[in-house]
Amino acid sequence: MDRRFMMPGRWLAATLTCGLLSAPAPARAQAMPEPSTPAEMVATYNTLADGILALKRTEENLVRSIVAAADAHGEVQLMRAERALAAGDASGAKAAVEALAAAVGQIATEGDNSVAAVRKRLLEGGHHHNAAGEAQGIFDEGFVIVTKAAKQKLLESSRRIGQMASSPSAAGLDSEWASVQAVYKDLMPPAK
């Protein structure tokens, strides 16, 4: 090209363009790196995810402990009722059977009213442990391990046990407790 017929700015642009086009391919590729998130930020986000997932596992373990404690309390009340029946202590048997019914109710509801208040607070804060299960109708809102089906069976057992309080029998209590334990066993797989 004859520079005399070009404007000065165009000559410079043409020269630079020719120079870039004739540069080796790797030089052109290295000119603008892809933007990426700094590795330190990714590492921090990854440890945050570990913490969030650990909290979810911790909530599940805590609820399992609450349910296990209610089950153990029920077992004690069943033994207390059977001892009272064997001793002919009607009032002692009635009190133990009522306490047994309450314990089964607490298994069904993953704890008592104080636990329900915590669950309500978590729900109000937007935390749903089993959001997918709730959407599918498997879990009641906020429940962690007790499914709707298990809750219904346990509440029915609690009601039947409560109805036995006025005239309990060891055989009737044992039979209903066996039903409770079958549901409990399904809810509480062996620890890993």
Is 96 domain-assigned? yes
Residue range(s) defining the domain that contains residue 65: 41-187
3-state secondary structure 36-62: CCCHHHHHHHHHHHHHHHHHHHHHHHH
Is 113 domain-assigned? yes
Is 170 domain-assigned? yes
Distances (CA, A) of 12 to 1, 21, 31, 91, 163: 12, 14, 20, 106, 99
pLDDT, tens digit (0-9, with 9 covering 90-100), for 107-146: 999 999 999 999 999 999 999 999 999 999 999 999 999 9
Is 159 domain-assigned? yes
| Category of 88 on φ-ψ map: left (φ > 0), alpha (ψ -120 to 50) or beta | left
Is 157 domain-assigned? yes
Looking at residue 166, the DSSP 8-state letter turns out to be G
Greater confidence, 23 or 115? 115
| Category of 189 on φ-ψ map: left (φ > 0), alpha (ψ -120 to 50) or beta | beta
Residue 154 burial (10 A CB sphere; 0-12, 13-18, 19+): buried
Number of structural domains found in the chain: 1
**pLDDT at residue 20, rounded to an integer:** 47
Report field, pTM of the whole predicted structure over 0.85: no
Is 27 domain-assigned? no
Contact criterion met (CB below 8 Å) for 141 and 123: yes
**Radius of gyration of the chain, Cα coordinates, nearest whole angstrom:** 34
Is 182 domain-assigned? yes
Is 95 domain-assigned? yes
